[in-house]
Structure 1
Amino acid sequence: MHQLVMAGGRRLQYEVSGKPDGRPVVLHHGMPGSASGPKPRNSVLYRAGIRLICYSRPGYGDSTRRERRTVADAADDVLALAGALGLDRFAVLGRSGGGPHALACAALLPERVTRAAALVSFAPRDAIGLDWYRDMAASNQHSYAAAEDGGELLQGQLRHESDRVNADPRHLLTRLLREMPGADRRIVADPGIESQLLQTYAVAVRAGAGGWIDDMLALSSDWGFDLGDIRVPVRFWHGAEDQFAPASHTRWLAEHIAGAKAEIEHGKAHFHALTVMLDLMCWLAATGSAPRAAA
């Protein structure tokens, strides 16, 4: 792990893996999450010719909190990170709550971003023609409703959750399992994936619930950019059985971004995004198909 000191002294935690001179891809993690979140192994990334840059959004892990941040603010952080790493051009990938942040970079950094992709992403809360809560798990419905009501109830809920995760990272995974469809349960049962999820949850909230709270509020508010400004190639992937971020969100996003392509895969759900992540990274880096080794 490394830390970038931003203007004003704010810190941004990040990690670089894969091939040092490979094609750069910036990964925006899920929610709650961190730079240590699930990703392909270093050796797999190296063989694929990818240089993967993961960072913890403000308030997560060792990244300084930035209250009242918007989704669009992610572009400033990524631009600073790219400057520190000497990246002129790069691709962006977002998973779940990280999806909108990747799209923000595509819209606001058109001279730097080459391609963008989002896995199991959310659509804007004010998306016209989208029944935003339809087919969404009850826990997510309650949390986003609390965010819309001003956030006071949400902050109390997430601080309580963060305290419990700090005491035992398995708490959050156990709670999520209650609402997972069978497709997700089979993915999370893999010991390697389970370990990665527990690690990222633990790192995400070790300084408190700030990042989680700010993510929820940002996703529930105006994102701060126009999806119509995205001109780079965009791909979406979503499991049709997803109950945490319904697939209808990806369908809506693909319809509102010129030239975007979406794959909705039946029989798969939210955590299947971890199994297709490498293929999307290879497309982003324009390196062709993924190597045979497992991610």
Structure 2
Amino acid sequence: MDLRQVRTADGRVLEVSVEGPAGGRAFVLHPGTPAGLAERGGIAGPAAERGLRTISYARPGYGGSTPHPGRTVLDAAGDVRAILEHLGHDRFVTAGWSGGGPHALACAAALPGACAAAATLAGVAPFDAEGLDWLAGMGPENVEEFAAAVRGPADLTGFVQARQAELAGVTGGQVAAALGGLIDEVDRAALTGELAESMAASFRHAVSAGVAGWRDDDLAFVRPWGFPVAAVQAPVTVWQGGHDRMVPFAHGQWLARGVPGARARLLAEHGHISLLARFGDILDDLLERAGDW
């Protein structure tokens, strides 16, 4: 994993990871919440096999990226533009997992000339989505966390700080226990080996500089995103699992209806984490949707 630092026009620093062929086409990966940078062989490997260069970054406040208080989901598009310009790419495909899903959609909405296609994998829907009970079906830890987010920054900061120490030292063998009621037997079975180690490393990096990134992600989710999903212009596929207790199935169903022209891949047998086992299929679909780019 090649780590870079990219400076934005407003003077912030973004910590960026690059994996895969130097001459490959750009694939921007938006990780979940909380998440930092980590080796992601299960994603970067299949991407490299398809000629893709995997580019990911720690969102503001995570790891070595400068905090950006008050940021919106839409702000991610500007950060991605800065990163791609720094790396010399003018076209890209993107995918966002979990909390990364809305940020992939921001790119599909705000960078239509550059974003050839996007995928949201177990990604949350807008908090104010019409007809969606946003918290229904979430595990108890998420219900508590987002209730704190709605109450405001002070309450949410206290909530995530209480969990920071646990994630700061978590190992691959401890990840399933740390997630508690947020996963069921389907995701527990998937959370082993390289995937468990990668997720643990991502958690550790996410909180290594404090909780600003985690807090500001959550606040951005329960506030207006800065764009309506109806503004998405790039082709999008929505992937969602029926066993998901972090982002319930209804979120994927809503996005599949709400994003213009979205292709639905609603898989009842998968959960939030087990969905990543389909990453080769996810990439093939992404490239097919991008067409000749």
> Contact conserved, 1:13 with 1:61, CA < 8 A, in 2?
yes
Deviation of the 1:167 alpha carbon = 4.1
Question: Where do 1:95-134 residues align within 5 Å?
Answer: 95-134=97-136
C-alpha root-mean-square deviation of aligned residues, in Å?
A: 1.8
Q: Indicate the residue corresponding to 1:223 in structure 2.
A: 225
Q: How far apart in 1 are the matches of 2:273 and 2:229? A: 25
SS at match of 1:236: strand
Q: Check whether the contact 1:17–1:45 (CA below 8 A) recurs between aligned residues.
A: no
The one of 71, 74, 77 equivalent to 2:76 is 74
| 1:43, distance to aligned residue in structure 2 (A) | 4.6
What corresponds to 1:261 in structure 2?
263
Which of 90, 93, 111 is the aligned partner of 1:91? 93
Report the alpha carbon displacement of residue 49 of structure 1 after superposing the two structures with TM: 1.1
Counterparts in 2 of 1:172 and 1:208: CA distance versus 1, 3 Å: farther
Where does the alignment leave 5 or more consecutive residues of structure 1 unmatched?
289-295
User: How many angstroms does 1:278 deviate by?
Assistant: 3.0
4+ residue runs of structure 1 moved beyond 6 angstroms? none
| TM-score of the two chains, using structure 1 as the length reference | 0.92
Q: Which amino acid aligns with 1:183?
A: V
Structure 1, residues 178-212: CA drift from partner, whole Å, max 9, x if none? 44211001001x22111111100011110001100
Give the unaligned 5+ runs of structure 2.
none
Q: How many aligned residue pairs are there?
A: 287
266, 274, 278: which one pairs with 1:276?
A: 278
Amino acid at match of 2:83: L
TM-superposed CA distance for 1:92, in Å, is: 1.2
TM-score normalised to the size of structure 2? 0.92
Structure 1 residue 173 displacement after superposition? 4.2
**Given the superposition, is the C-alpha separation of residues 65 and 181 from structure 1 closer, same or farther in structure 2, using an over 3 Å criterion?**
same
Larger displacement relative to structure 2 (199-208 or 9-18): 9-18
The separation in 1 between residues aligned to 2:223 and 2:157, in whole angstroms, is 15
**2:187 match:** 184
Q: Could you say what secondary structure the match of 2:277 adopts?
A: helix
Q: Are the structure 2 counterparts of residues 178 and 243 from structure 1 closer, same or farther at C-alpha, using a change threshold of 3 Å?
A: closer
Quote the offset at 1:280 in angstroms: 1.7
Q: Secondary structure at the match of 1:140?
A: helix
What is the SS of the residue equivalent to 1:83?
Answer: helix
1:260-285 superposed Cα distances (whole Å, 9 cap, x missing partner): 01111122111013212232223323
What are the Cα deviations for residues 70-116 of structure 1, in whole angstroms up to 9, with x where unaligned? 00000010010111111111111100000000001110111111001
List aligned pairs for 1:131-146, cutoff 5 A. Answer: 131-146=133-148
In structure 2, how many angstroms separate the alpha carbons of the residues matched to 1:12 and 1:94?
Answer: 18
